[in-house]
Structure 1
Amino acid sequence: MLLFSENTKVDDVIENSILVVTSDPNKMESVCEQLAMRDVGEIKRFLGNIEQLESCEDTINTDCIVFDASHLDSPDSSIETINLQISKNVNKIAFSTKDSLLLADEFEKKDVRYCLYPTQLNRMGGLVHQTAQDKTYTNSAIRITLMSCKGGIGGSMLSYQAAEFIANKRQSPTLIVQGAYGSQNLDLISKVAISNEVTLLQKNLSGFYEDKSHAWQYYNPAYENFECIVFDFTAYNAADENIENVLTHTDCLLLICDRDISSARTAKKIIEANNHLMNSNNGVRRLYVCHNQHHGKISGEINTQEISGLIGKSVDLTIPYLTKPGDPSLPLNFSGKNIHHLENLCNLLLGKKGHKPSKTSLLDSIKKIGQRG
């Protein structure tokens, strides 16, 4: 009789998933060969530059990224891309053909291990193991804020839809926080009872009501288990110090306006405050404006172009009035053909650049007509 079957064996080693990023096929083979020799775990490949990481379709559950930094003079842009497309908590290892101690030190100060290619290639496997063992959790979730510049313009619904989309797309723990001075209607939207404690809404998505005694805070022990946090705040009743707190601590800010001129005035005030903070290296770098047309057109209301003129900044995204047939209580219906509006919104929040079709010039049109003849 067997006392211990093979099924009772427990493997204490959790296999890591390593993504290798380089546009050079020869480097890809060399790096992957070294990692395979060290048996570091599952190796995934993306043949492209780190700036093209948004095109990679296999970033989910990545523990470590090894990327080619030969064309980079600073780690900043690569770190920002990795944080948005994968996670702030992923281990980062850069390899480069630049033999520069100053550049290597700059990467190391940003918690990115640096290898000289190809002379230090044999260190790669060891570094993957070392970073996996030394990694300690820090509260470094991506913080995205959606601010309604007027009451009753669908900001909470938009925030929930964005948080749900991001949670499904990134397949990582996501939290939506509704501000203490907002509508407090997240339970109606999610159809789950929510309180001042973190509540699971669905897989990878939780909700939380901010308490008035701890309003406008971006750091809370309750946030430590999440990789992305979407804050649903209201701007029209916020004090100047609260606006400054948002501009100082969020990674991305989306200002939501409607056709009412008062929302444009509030957005303009926040944009001007951020421009002032940017002069002293503060403020939020990724600030966007969304025109949410949450109801049918009414005579005398302003349009998207007029909003841009009033706030001194182009509107980045316009969401048309979308209704669900037979259910006017849900003004945002992103199902079916309307899903691209939500995708565009979330790509904006996650730092993905939209690919706009190039405009055809008059000369090109004449050439095409001539070719047909």
Structure 2
Amino acid sequence: MLLFPQKDEKATGTEQIFYILSERESVIGKLGQMLRLAGFTHVEPISKSLKGIKTLPLAAQARGIVIDVGNSLDPLEMILAIKTLVPRGIWCCVVGDKDAITLAQAYARHGLHYFYIDAEEDEFIQVVAAGNPIKKSRRAVNISVLGCKGGVGNTTIAYHLVNKIIQLRQMPTLFIQGKSGSHDLDLLFDKRMNQELMPVNKHLDLMCPQDGSLPQLKYETTEKYNFVIYEETANSADKEQLRQIIEHSSCLILTLDRSMSSIRVARQMIEINESINRAQRVPRRLLVCVSDSRPVSGDMLSVKDVQSLIDRKIDVVFPWQKSQLRASLFPLKQKVTPIDTLTQRVLGAPENARSFKLRFKTGRTGEI
């Protein structure tokens, strides 16, 4: 498999660009001076905060970026933003106002250096000049979309999620369909799957493991990708394989309908996820979606009923429409669609609570 990107020769320090992302002019001035004194003549400021930026305008000659997180004590939020914004081929480090060993350790676990901006100037320059990452490299954002029943539109939701992420982030993305999936990626992407790894465009590759085995989502297989989306039907997949998928995921999406059979599978997946979280103590986000593949009738379970049975809030509802592929995901009358909200939550972006409430009414009063 051609899963290893060709490495280009590095340009010299004077030809490459170093970026500084900070909303504070004092930090941009201080770091810029330090980088120029270290020999980097091309230093470009990006005068924004990490939380307030949707894309990073980095040139092809970018060598690295220094990100100012200020006095933030929430490294997980910052790490998710970095993973979804900074291409994995670009060197990155973090500076902040807090002199805390626990902060540095939290960033180090994700392959990022953290420097206390007021006391670690020498260490900062040494690491930046060397351009060496921490031994543990930045991993891709592994997103697993697991259908709790056949026919709930799991592949369609995963397909549109992939396209939305590419549209918003324009970063290398790998879409993997498991052996229990619908096996229709060739139709969705209009590509003949005549090899295990199929390029679609400059941002997207497809993978359908021909032997049905679980791809290695942690190491060399995903070295070039910022995002890896894995789609599988959970109710017919091997339990041990599902456990491995959850262990390797940073974001888990469960898709179910209003039937007891899918609710039973969803409860099982939630219990497995909670068991793994207790054992590993690794943060893993869980999103639950109800997908209505047929009209909602009075004798069907309400969203409140589903929430009560799985003992968890429903994050997104995909309402039934006659044309399931487009209408339920991109209804013309809605400015913000369910797939938009799901994408925002996967990427860790904030959303408007009021519009969320209005958006997902399904015709039954008080369901959301």
TM class by smaller structure: 0.7 to 0.9
Residue ranges of structure 1 left out of the alignment (5+ in a row): 1-10, 360-373
Letter in 2 for 1:181: S
Aligned partner of 2:171 in structure 1 is 172
TM-superposed deviation, 1:231: 0.6
1:353 aligns to 2:350 (yes or no): yes
Q: Residue 334 of structure 1 corresponds to which residue in structure 2?
A: 330
SS at match of 2:21: strand
With over 3 angstroms needed to count, the CA separation of the structure-2 counterparts of 1:217 and 1:236, relative to structure 1, is farther
Structure 2 length-normalised TM? 0.78
Deviation at 1:18, TM superposition (A): 1.5
Q: Which runs of structure 2 are paired with 1:277-292 in the superposition (5 Å)? A: 277-282=276-281, 285-292=284-291
Say yes or no: does 1:199 pair with 2:195. Answer: no
Aligned match of 2:93: 93
Distance verdict in 2 for CA 1:203–1:299, change over 3 Å: farther
Match of 1:6 in 2: none
How big is the alpha-carbon RMSD for the aligned residues of Structure 1 and Structure 2? 3.5
Counterpart for residue 141 of structure 1: 140
Find out whether 1:239 has 2:235 as its counterpart: no
Distance 1:202 1:253 in 2: 25
Aligned residue for 2:78?
A: 78
Cα distance change, pair 74–210 in 1 and its aligned pair in 2 (3 A): same
Q: Hey, what's the Cα distance between the residues in 2 that align with 1:145 and 1:208? A: 14
Percent of aligned positions that are identical = 21
Q: Return the offset for 1:358.
A: 9.8
| Alpha-carbon offset, residue 314 of structure 1 | 0.4
CA distance in 1, matches of 2:216, 2:119: 47
Which structure's CA Rg is the greater one?
1
- Higher normalized helix content (fraction of residues): 1
The correspondence of residues 1-373 of structure 1 with structure 2, limited to 5 A, is 12-13=11-12, 15-21=16-22, 23-35=23-35, 38-48=39-49, 53-61=50-58, 64-69=64-69, 71-72=71-72, 75-87=75-87, 90-98=90-98, 111-118=111-118, 120-121=120-121, 127-131=127-131, 140-215=139-214, 217-219=216-218, 222-282=221-281, 285-324=284-323, 332-334=328-330, 336-338=332-334, 340-341=336-337, 342-357=339-354
The answer on whether the counterparts of 1:155 and 1:232 sit within 8 Å (CA) in structure 2 is: yes
Higher-RCO chain (CA-CA 8 Å, sequence separation at least 6):
2
Aligned AA for 2:188? I
Partners of 1:316 and 1:205 in 2: CA distance:
27
**2:157 maps to amino acid:** L
Shift of 1:144: 0.5
In structure 2, how many angstroms separate the alpha carbons of the residues matched to 1:316 and 1:107?
28
Moved more, 33-42 or 163-172: 33-42
Q: Is the 8 A contact 1:292 1:320 kept in 2?
A: yes
Report the Cα offset of residue 240 of structure 1: 2.3
The 3 A distance-change label for structure 1 pair 46 and 157 is same
Shift of 1:253: 0.5
Q: By how many angstroms is 1:185 displaced? A: 1.1
Shift of 1:161: 0.8
* TM-score, reference length from structure 1: 0.77
Contact 1:248/1:283 (CA < 8 Å) preserved in 2? no
Q: How many residues were matched structurally?
A: 341
